[in-house]
Amino acid sequence: MPNTIEIVDNPLRKITFNSPQSSRFSRIVLQFFTIFFFTIPILSTIMTLFFLGEVSPGIVIFYMIFGLCGYYFLRLFLWNKHGKEIIYLEKNRVSYEADYKMFKANKVEISDEELTIEIKPVISNNKLAILKINTESQQIETVVKAPIEKLEALQTEIKSVYNE
């Protein structure tokens, strides 16, 4: 999936930043670690029951630690495979959320009063940048890098909607 920006124009404007897919090797490694962290506690419980005949209460901590690590690697894998950032331009507010396909996270809402829209160039590449939408108290910053020309066109469109 190429790094693209999609704009849906209806009563609720929606801007989608699709993250580029990572390499096949890195996705396989992330998938391996995800499966590893979710299956090790189950296998260790079965082996403990088989060899010792009982399970100690400490297994709960073991499940929690490995479950959190598995959840972290699942998020990384899903972001690298299906990740996208969605910005909703509503009448009185701007909303942002990260979409991992299986679940959504990081929902941020800011009011549309005194919006400033910035394009922040990426240091490693002069042709790519990220979008920042600020108010006095809050900010929304995209993670997905996009071409500066596309972001400048998007910036003028957002300014025309909110700074009338």
Residues 71-115: tens digit of each pLDDT? 999 999 999 999 999 988 887 788 899 999 888 887 888 886 778
User: Is residue 149 over pLDDT 60?
Assistant: yes
Tell me, yes or no, whether 116 and 66 share the same domain.
no
User: Is residue 7 over pLDDT 80?
Assistant: no
> How many structural domains is the chain composed of?
2
Is the CB of residue 107 less than 8 Å from the CB of residue 88? Answer: no
Q: Which helix (H) or strand (E) holds 139?
A: strand 139-141
Instruction: Tell me the pLDDT band of 139, cut-offs 50, 70 and 90.
Output: confident
Tell me, yes or no, whether 87 and 75 share the same domain.
no
Tell me, yes or no, whether 87 and 157 share the same domain.
yes
Tell me, yes or no, whether 33 and 67 share the same domain.
yes
Tell me, yes or no, whether 124 and 89 share the same domain.
yes
Tell me, yes or no, whether 154 and 91 share the same domain.
yes
Instruction: Show the domain range for 157.
Output: 4-19+83-163
Structure confidence at residue 1 (pLDDT): 45
Tell me, yes or no, whether 93 and 73 share the same domain.
no
Tell me, yes or no, whether 150 and 97 share the same domain.
yes
Instruction: Tell me the pLDDT band of 137, cut-offs 50, 70 and 90.
Output: confident
pLDDT tens-place string over residues 50-66:
998 888 888 999 999 99
Tell me, yes or no, whether 87 and 158 share the same domain.
yes
DSSP secondary structure string for all residues of 121-149: EETTEEEEEEEEEE-SS-EEE--S-EEHH
Q: 93 pairs with which residues across the strands? A: 111
Mean pLDDT confidence for 42-55: 90
Structure confidence at residue 117 (pLDDT): 86
Is the CB of residue 102 less than 8 Å from the CB of residue 126? Answer: no
Q: Residue 40 gets which letter from DSSP? A: H
Tell me, yes or no, whether 46 and 93 share the same domain.
no
